Structure 1
């Protein structure tokens, strides 16, 4: 299937529903490739399910009409009975690009079988700089779902200035703006940031505003993993304020990725943040958000608990700092505090690791097995292959 911009896809689907649904004059012999008929159809506008006939011409919905009131000539008829029929779901945060690029998993069946027909990639400021080459590869290979691509601020920043823990120079900012501009011209749907992650965490608010303005010039969106979903740096509510300030300055739509109050320090702040978002919307700021349907989050172990300053510059610099005995006490204290923020060592579950013996166990479990302090175990583990918790 082809790659589509998410806003174009939504417009096409809903235009088909709304325009066709308004046609009430009985017609006959409507030629379609596929006719789907059901007594339980949701059209996606928030209205109740209704009995409808849905005509598909090639890859497009070409008719949505009251069930049984019109005659169709169809090459294939699917009688869904009272089964629920709806537009395909859009998953706005998937990290599924590696699967789409792999011919063995490109069908993306784990999404399709759940009714997801469009996935968004390039979230959290990562993965994608060269939109054109990715589009070409996926189009030539073929993929099972549609995908929409965000250009990642963190990847753009690393492309221009590595993992330097400093503000960008004027020349570096210009280079980043040029990359974002090219990505938007090549079909990106917007700019994503992961201001919690390295190297995005090293960027100033002003840097992000400048890049978001480029995406705004193309009616793109600003999709963000907040700078802080807990008390790691500026605080949860302040991070939401920063995101709102960015989009107001850049005149762009804000999408808050996996919005949540992460960890014991901010539990109970959800209502305040929702109220903050609703106030901004009432004042004219365009905002949307998505949320996990479970009480957990997932990321790499180093991102979860290792201080951001330790990860600056390069992988070798990261390892050197971890093993610098003069820095070790400071690192231990900060890792210990970050573990506490996340609910303790028994709240960190290993989900992906090259050492399969630790998968399914908590940080507390493995620390006890190896007779190590949890923070010391983290320092040991993050120097090896990536581990997810």
Structure 2
């Protein structure tokens, strides 16, 4: 018998390993969707320490904990490539990342929209000291870099400035960033020009990184914005990724076709360009970005507030705001985590005009003077554009979560419950792939995103028909349900549908 076992071990090392040690967890008879896009197959999976130690047909392995997965789907944990979970991770009350964990997310990327620090080691050390409910990877952000070197005013870098910025990008990349992130709607990044971004992207490219961006425009100037992304990718010679791809504004509805055609043309020519999206018709950002002219944002919030008190500037700002229609104001709804103004959440700008008996120019000025960081949801997208993007093989799931919006609580849940099960836009294996293996491959995350022997045991067990989103655009801060087990690095953070309050997440640095 020993000779037989030895012979089998030489042919199949995994079998011999399984015989030698007891598993920590053994999940038998589940339908395994491995994250590659392949259809599900009946398999059993063994977890030992933080890794998948067995994938096969055996159902009688010895384990400390055996879970019967009959009737359940077992898949890799979801990877969220665009979040603002940074602020959650810094708070002892929210570092568990329950809104993400409840959806089956086991890895989040931070530093999105160009907001990420270039001091990756310092940031990661903080997260590790506090503990993390999920794994964390990071981008180096354009915003803090430009702000440190040039401030927040309308200014262009000279050669010395650019070299200083490049060194900060290099620091972030050397400390393990996935790539360079930009948010070209936001101060001070909004003042940058394409050549500046290309030069910084070349540094990220040198380290095998990616360019991830919130484009300059997602509305009327969307095609030129996509072309800028393409130009950056081609000139800096690195993969590019468009975050929360969308078409905003009623006048632009239907233009997803133009965007898709342009991107498919460049992909066919060899450019590695992809995108992520969330499945909601409303976006969320600082109210100032949608209400005020760009010049009024220069210098940051303090200078913006000063302009709202300056008679000459105020006159121009009010003239700008007067152009807004009632329909536009009805489509912007206050949605803030700031406890001082949560009583305004759910009210549109139009509602506030009626309640305060003020025209929009007075309401806008009052809000931004008293609460310059107030955020709002903009109901600006068409569902058909969202669906059109979702069908493309280069679009993955990403939440943009972190704010007071259902995308924080229900992005991945909605994809399974609505796009996959209810509307049958794509099959379950594709819903899983676009949230696991596709994302890991694009961002070069090793040994995650698939259920495979030797890979980290980031694994979720659920019944698709039980996955439910309880957060919507009216009732926001409600956790999703449907996950029976969620494992992060082999340790359950949800076990038999209950949070364990464990913090097994790891920081993920890009290999140099």
Counterpart position of 2:272: 286
Aligned length in residues:
361
TM-score scaled by length of structure 2? 0.67
Tell me how far apart the structure 2 counterparts of residues 45 and 285 of structure 1 sit (CA, whole Å): 22
- How far off is 1:238 after superposition? 0.6
Q: Which residue of the other structure, out of 321, 333, 352, is the alignment partner of 1:366?
A: 352
For 2:399, the equivalent position in structure 1 comes to none
Equivalent position of 1:241 in the other structure: 227
* Structure 2 partner of 1:349: 333
* 2:44 maps to 1:53: yes
CA contact (8 A) 1:263 1:343 kept: no
For residue 276 of structure 1, what is the aligned residue in structure 2? 262
**Are 1:29 and 2:19 matched, yes or no?**
yes
Match of 1:323 among 309, 325, 333: 309
Cα distance in 2 for residues equivalent to 1:24 and 1:242 = 49
For CA contacts below 8 A with separation 6 or more, give which structure has more relative contact order: 2
Measured in 1, the distance between the counterparts of 2:181 and 2:147 equals 14
Of 100-109 and 114-123, deviating more is: 100-109
Deviation at 1:320, TM superposition (A): 2.3
Counterpart of 1:206 in structure 2 is: 195
Counterpart-to-counterpart distance in 1, 2:31 and 2:281: 31
- The within-5 A match list for 1:114-133 is 114-133=103-122
Runs of 5+ unmatched residues, structure 1: 1-21
CA contact (8 A) 1:151 1:192 kept: yes
Tell me how far 1:243 sits from its aligned partner: 0.6
- Structure 1 position 72, deviation (Å): 2.5
In 2 relative to 1, CA 327–66 (structure 1 residues): closer, same or farther, beyond 3 Å? Answer: same
Gaps of 5+ in 2: 1-10, 377-512
Return the offset for 1:193: 0.3
Q: Residue 108 of structure 1: which of 97, 110, 120 is its match?
A: 97
Is 1:30–1:72's contact at 8 Å kept on the other side of the alignment? no
Q: Whole-Å Cα distance in 2 between the matches of residues 253 and 40 of structure 1?
A: 34
Hey, what's the Cα distance between the residues in 2 that align with 1:317 and 1:58? 53
Number of the residue aligned with 2:375: 388
Answer whether contact 1:30 1:73 (CA < 8 A) is retained.
no
Residues of 2 paired with 1:92 and 1:272: CA distance?
Answer: 24
CA contact (8 A) 2:14 2:53 kept: no
Report the equivalent of 1:261.
247
The separation in 2 between residues aligned to 1:166 and 1:173, in whole angstroms, is: 12
Partner of 2:96, secondary structure, is coil
Q: What RMSD over aligned residues (CA atoms) do the two structures have, in Å?
A: 2.0
In the other structure, the counterpart of 1:38 is 29
- The CA deviation at 1:356 is 3.0
Pairwise CA distance, 1:50 = 0.8
The corresponding residue for 1:64 is: 55
**In structure 2, what is the equivalent of residue 6 of structure 1?**
none
CA drift of 1:369 comes to 1.2
Aligned partner of 1:167 in structure 2 is 156
Paired position in structure 2 for 1:189: 178
Q: 1:82 aligns to what SS in structure 2?
A: coil
